[in-house]
Amino acid sequence: MIIIGGGIAGISLAAELSNRGQAATLLEAEDQLAYHTSGRSAQQLVLGYGPPAVRELTDISVEMLLARQQVLAQPVAWPSRFMMVGTETEIAAHAYPGQTLQDRDAVRQLLPELRPERFTAGALDERSLRTGADAMMAWLVTQAEHCEIRLGERVTAAEHIDGTWYVTTTQGKYQSNVVINAAGAWADQVAQLCGASPLGLTPLRRTAAILGLDRPISSDRCMMMKVDGYYYRYETEDAILASPQEAEPSPAVDAQPRANDIDDLIQEIEADTTLHITGVRSAWTGLRTEAADGTPVVGFDDAQPGFFWLAGQSGYGFQTSLGFARLAADLMIDGTAGEWVSHASVTALAPDRLR
């Protein structure tokens, strides 16, 4: 099998296939894995968030992750509370299953820096986890023992002839019975190279920054997200990681942060809280790619034989990665999904829904 794309989706699948004794080749256009969106993730796994199929596969992925990481000297994921804040009306409309509602006083106890006149309610998720993106990627690479990982190999052409794929890259030629499109923001472009119709997947900008603080905050501070707005979380005792959570459509490019987006973010945080930002230590922008209905795409193309979609994860890439990899391997190797996942989710994720 040939996997195109070395982000969290592609490397998770490489690990899953290796666990089943299936050889594969992973082709990554950049000179390192997870260069684009996966390497620029907020690294928070939020259970109960997103469309139904995402919620189910998140639960499955987290269960798999917690079980598998028990053999590691250092875990790649650990508990990290998450709270959505806003007005009582906003929280009532946006809270999701598994969150517990918090009144103004409870919100202030958990996030004492919030200005009480700005936020009157919250919804707390105590099941969420934080993961180290680099550590998780490195761990999955060690699991992908039957996968040849080829960096700096951008796909330039692909043909499907008599049941076999012939894939050409900037460095060489490969062949396989199945091609997996895990190319993130470039997924529709890869589909066209392979003779498949694009699904209308849209890359969306998402900027984040490490912001210095004038005084320390505690490491057990829960991640905070303003309804329909920014989020921030503890990064170090004198810094937070924050994002405006913009969702601006973008071409598939190496996205870069814009100063005005970060300036606006800082102004909003300082208006809503008593935090004082002393400076921007670093900033980056990734592209989260999603389908028109907001649900990821996992399954064989309905028109191009041997072409498998593993794309459109939006902001759910890390939290669904192991479950999506397991589902993809089931569909490719066994021809059907196991009973561990609902038929409703398999159907909701299928690419033919977007035709």
- Kindly state whether residues 110 and 164 are assigned to the same domain: no
Please state, rounded to an integer, the average pLDDT across all residues of the chain: 95
Structural contact between residues 37 and 252, judged by C-beta atoms closer than 8 angstroms: no
- Kindly state whether residues 142 and 93 are assigned to the same domain: no
Structural contact between residues 199 and 190, judged by C-beta atoms closer than 8 angstroms: no
- Kindly state whether residues 237 and 269 are assigned to the same domain: yes
Instruction: Report pTM.
Output: 0.94
Specify burial of residue 352 (Cβ count, 10 A radius: 0-12, 13-18, 19+). Answer: middle
CATH of the domain at 337: 3.50.50.60
Quick one: pLDDT band at residue 202, thresholds 50, 70, 90?
very high
Whether residue 286 has pLDDT greater than 60 = yes
* 207 occurs within a structural domain: yes
The domain boundary residue, chosen from 267, 290, 313: 290
- Kindly state whether residues 219 and 350 are assigned to the same domain: no
Whether residue 34 has pLDDT greater than 80 = no
Give the count of domains, the chain. 2
The domain boundary residue, chosen from 272, 290, 308: 290
Structure tokens given for 258: 């814009």
Question: pLDDT at position 133, please?
Answer: 87
pLDDT-above-90 percentage for the chain: 91
Q: Stretch 78-98: mean pLDDT, rounded? A: 95
Structure tokens given for 166: 């012939």
- Kindly state whether residues 235 and 323 are assigned to the same domain: no
Q: Stretch 200-218: mean pLDDT, rounded? A: 96
Contacts with 287 (C-beta within 8 Å, 6 or more apart), sequence order: 36, 37, 184, 185, 203, 204, 205, 206, 250, 252, 253, 255
- Kindly state whether residues 197 and 211 are assigned to the same domain: no
pLDDT tens column, 36-54: 555 455 678 888 889 999 9
Torsion-angle region of residue 297: left (phi > 0), alpha (psi -120 to 50) or beta? beta
- Kindly state whether residues 236 and 337 are assigned to the same domain: no
Quick one: pLDDT band at residue 1, thresholds 50, 70, 90?
very high
Whether residue 281 has pLDDT greater than 90 = yes
* 98 occurs within a structural domain: yes
- Kindly state whether residues 9 and 110 are assigned to the same domain: no
Question: pLDDT at position 39, please?
Answer: 45
* 49 occurs within a structural domain: yes
pLDDT tens column, 219-267: 989 999 999 999 999 999 999 999 999 999 999 999 999 999 999 999 9
- Kindly state whether residues 237 and 303 are assigned to the same domain: no
* 77 occurs within a structural domain: no
Structure tokens given for 163: 């049941």
Helical residues (DSSP H) of the chain, grouped into ranges: 8-19, 52-68, 88-94, 104-110, 133-143, 187-193, 259-272, 317-329, 343-349
Q: Stretch 196-221: mean pLDDT, rounded? A: 95
- Kindly state whether residues 222 and 234 are assigned to the same domain: yes
pLDDT tens column, 136-182: 999 999 999 999 999 999 999 999 999 999 999 999 999 999 999 99
Question: pLDDT at position 42, please?
Answer: 60
Which residue, among 19, 14, 6, 60, has the nearest Cα to 320 in the 3D structure? 60
- Kindly state whether residues 57 and 160 are assigned to the same domain: yes
Q: Which domain holds residue 88?
A: 82-125+202-290
Question: pLDDT at position 35, please?
Answer: 73
Sign of CA dihedral 316, 192, 173, 254: negative
The domain boundary residue, chosen from 261, 290, 319: 290
Question: pLDDT at position 37, please?
Answer: 56
Whether residue 207 has pLDDT greater than 90 = yes
- Kindly state whether residues 279 and 222 are assigned to the same domain: yes
CATH of the domain at 284: 3.30.9.10
pLDDT-above-70 percentage for the chain: 98
Question: pLDDT at position 49, please?
Answer: 83
pLDDT tens column, 293-336: 999 999 999 999 999 999 999 989 999 999 999 999 999 999 99
* 308 occurs within a structural domain: yes
